[in-house]
Structure 1
Amino acid sequence: MASHFLLGFVDILREALKIFHKNGKLMASFTLLTLSVHSLLFLFDIFSMKPLLSKWITDQSLVLFARPNTPKYANLLVAAHKDIRILVGTEWIFLVISSFISFFFSSATILASATTHSGKNFSLKDLFSTAASSFKRPFLTLLYLTLFGVGYIFLALVLLPLPLAMSFQSPFALKVFLILLSVSAAALYDYLAVVWTLALAVSVLEESYGIEALGKAAKIVKGMEMHGFLVNLVMTILSFIILLGFKFLKFKDFAAVEVIIGLLILNSLWLVKMFGLMAYTVLYYQCKKTHGEEVELQGDLEYSKIPNFQFIPESIP
């Protein structure tokens, strides 16, 4: 039983890797474009924030050397507060735009994986056109997933553990408790995210969204939850290894080197994320097959349906 389960999980990863070979031109172009867009966003954020941050640091330095209770001190203090508001506001606007673009590419990754896995030949233009036309469904599903995710984090890391953490007298015992809590919360999140991520795939590939997509995902994944959990676990471990690996590498403290390292980390994490979404697309197909549902192509999107059966009317003798 255990060997069968592991073979099923390995098969998901193997099929996800095969997606790159089935339509190498599309997947290579799409991957390169995805990494390029996110790299440009990263560079734009750094070089646009640098002048604002430098001005704020300069104003803060001038405040330290100005005499209190003078008009010059008051003006510098107002300017420093204005700078920090502009800095924070600009960063929030960039974060919203970056998150929107990242989610669009995540939806496009699922669509590219699905069309490639099913053998349908898509061009890069067709892929983005289809992803844009169907973007509303996964975006509405994302709103529900965000609420669930925020609620889980608040419940698991703030509301429930806070009273327990206050009862520890030893700093060492408190540290051990927080580590165990973080690991347990991350593992449980990976398990809950199976239905959540599969609901996103359902929203991209079917005519459903929101609670309906979550319900369909929970229905079709029954019996294969642990496959999705292992996919999430592997992606989490890979991401952790990437971050930890770059942290322990010793580099000279140059701004250019730090930017390059940041780009390497960003692109590595995005490759892991894309592979995880490809694996979930394969899992979606396997869940459909397990429940006796076919996945058919209609136009530019894929949808699934229960196979039709012919019924004999009772009126016929």
Structure 2
Amino acid sequence: MENKSAYQEMIICKPPNLKNKMEMPKLSGLIEILKETIKILHSKNGKLIAKITSIYIIIVSLATISYINLSSFLQHDLLAKETFLILNSPTPPSYTEVYAAVKPDLVLILGLSLFLNLFTIFLYVFTMTATILASAETYSSEKATISFKELMMKVKSSIKRPIITLLYIYLIGIGLSVIVLFFLGSLAFLIENRSVILPTAVVVGILASILWLYLYVVFQLGMTVSIIEEGICGIQAIAKAGRIVKGKRLYGFVFNLVVQMANLIAVIPFMKMNTNGNQSMVYKGIALVILSSFSGILAMFFHMFYTVLYFQCNKIHGKSETGLMGVYEYVKLPYGEVAVDQDLP
């Protein structure tokens, strides 16, 4: 009985006190992350991050302006062909004849749109990877500096992982969008009063957007994990982000909400200008450059913020998680038996 009691005392341990970990995050924690983010911006690597962001803004602005001008020219050419076909035909042209006339322009417009979207996404991931790697280098050691060549080599070896993670995030986003649309369609079918459908759809849309911003904390942190940590990407990176963000998720959600509101405030005037046919292409181009600059700077700060958030979360949960996975091994033993190494004297 004494051996059995001693063994029971040996295997029974007091659970850790989780009271402090379960407390609601305070505003001071968010301010601390913002301060650390600003420190990175003022470091030597911060200048390199600013240069990369400037290059990103210039390339995106030039590519978008070129696309707008070229697509506008193609649309005018498309309308001219359709008008010419209608005026020079003795009978109204059929749909097949109109489609055959405008098909080359349609294919070209769609191809340019697809190319611009893919190019912008790749450039965004490239810039995000460079920003996070340079920020991580600074946060892990304030005196550490990295050259542009070294950074580009790191980006080259790391960029595949965030692309895979981003693909998973897109798939999850598409799935959630289908669920929301199915829910709205069901409501429209069930609600008899048609005047209530639009307000209901607006409310559901707002709630879905807030939910997405809350979920995106894990998604963006998963992108950061896949960039900084080697050999982890996709759903594994997202899962790890979900584990280590516990206790600090509210910080990311509040920050996402502020960034989204800032983007919305910046985009609305540009959309109004774009719908106004009286504005010249020069003014629209200038507005586009300003909008691209604002969005690029905001994205830079966004990625730096999540780099700091990653290190703070990893400091609390990452090490304990690694310790539990790498050190301890649990083995089920029969009740009352003690495992004894036979080689011991």
Q: What is the total number of aligned residue pairs between the two structures?
A: 303
Q: Match of 2:150?
A: 126
Tell which deviates more after alignment, 170-179 or 216-225: 170-179
Q: Is the 8 A contact 2:25 2:250 kept in 1?
A: no
The letter for the 1-side match of 2:100 is V
1:78 alignment partner, one of 100, 124, 136: 100
Q: Match of 1:15?
A: 36
Distance 1:225 1:55, change over 3 A: same
Identity %: 31
Does residue 151 (structure 1) correspond to residue 165 (structure 2)? The answer is no
- The Cα RMSD (Å) is 3.0
Tell which deviates more after alignment, 53-62 or 276-285: 53-62
Q: Is the 8 A contact 2:244 2:314 kept in 1?
A: yes
Does residue 286 (structure 1) correspond to residue 286 (structure 2)? The answer is no
Does residue 234 (structure 1) correspond to residue 258 (structure 2)? The answer is yes
Q: Is the 8 A contact 1:109 1:278 kept in 2?
A: yes
Give TM-score scaled by structure 2 length.
0.78
C-alpha separation in 2, matches of 1:306 and 1:7: 29
1:51 alignment partner, one of 35, 52, 73: 73
The letter for the 1-side match of 2:64 is F
Q: Is the 8 A contact 2:56 2:123 kept in 1?
A: no
Q: Between Structure 1 and Structure 2, whose CA radius of gyration is higher?
A: 2
The letter for the 1-side match of 2:149 is K
The letter for the 1-side match of 2:200 is F
Q: Match of 1:103?
A: 125
Q: Is the 8 A contact 1:42 1:263 kept in 2?
A: no
The letter for the 2-side match of 1:198 is L
Q: Is the 8 A contact 1:63 1:73 kept in 2?
A: no
The letter for the 2-side match of 1:54 is H
C-alpha separation in 1, matches of 2:53 and 2:104: 40
Question: 1:148-297 maps to which residues of 2 (within 5 A)?
Answer: 148-156=172-180, 158-207=181-230, 208-247=232-271, 253-291=279-317, 293=319
Q: Is the 8 A contact 2:43 2:138 kept in 1?
A: yes
The letter for the 1-side match of 2:42 is H
Tell which deviates more after alignment, 30-39 or 202-211: 30-39
C-alpha separation in 1, matches of 2:102 and 2:292: 31
Q: Is the 8 A contact 2:61 2:288 kept in 1?
A: no
C-alpha separation in 2, matches of 1:68 and 1:112: 67
Distance 1:196 1:260, change over 3 A: same
C-alpha separation in 2, matches of 1:306 and 1:108: 30
Q: Is the 8 A contact 2:161 2:226 kept in 1?
A: yes
C-alpha separation in 2, matches of 1:249 and 1:65: 34
Shift of 1:170: 4.4
C-alpha separation in 2, matches of 1:115 and 1:68: 71
Which string of whole-angstrom CA distances, capped at 9 and with x for unpartnered residues, describes residues 240-269 of structure 1?
111134456799611110111122112212
Unpaired stretches in structure 2, ≥5 consecutive residues: 1-19, 328-340
Q: Match of 1:297?
A: none
The letter for the 2-side match of 1:214 is I
C-alpha separation in 2, matches of 1:47 and 1:79: 22
Q: Is the 8 A contact 2:168 2:234 kept in 1?
A: yes
Shift of 1:75: 6.2
Tell which deviates more after alignment, 43-52 or 17-26: 43-52
Shift of 1:25: 2.5
Distance 1:3 1:287, change over 3 A: closer
C-alpha separation in 1, matches of 2:99 and 2:187: 42
Q: Is the 8 A contact 1:168 1:174 kept in 2?
A: yes
Q: Match of 1:88?
A: 110
The letter for the 2-side match of 1:112 is A
Shift of 1:286: 0.8
Shift of 1:93: 2.3
Tell which deviates more after alignment, 72-81 or 173-182: 72-81
Structure showing greater relative contact order (alpha-carbon pairs closer than 8 Å, 6 or more residues apart): 2
The letter for the 2-side match of 1:202 is V
Which string of whole-angstrom CA distances, capped at 9 and with x for unpartnered residues, describes residues 177-214 of structure 1?
12211110000001111111111000000021112211
Which string of whole-angstrom CA distances, capped at 9 and with x for unpartnered residues, describes residues 42-95 of structure 1?
123223334322321211221332325489998665221332122212321222
Question: 1:59-74 maps to which residues of 2 (within 5 A)?
Answer: 59-69=81-91
What secondary structure does 1:293 align onto?
Answer: helix
Tell which deviates more after alignment, 108-117 or 43-52: 43-52
Q: Match of 2:334?
A: none
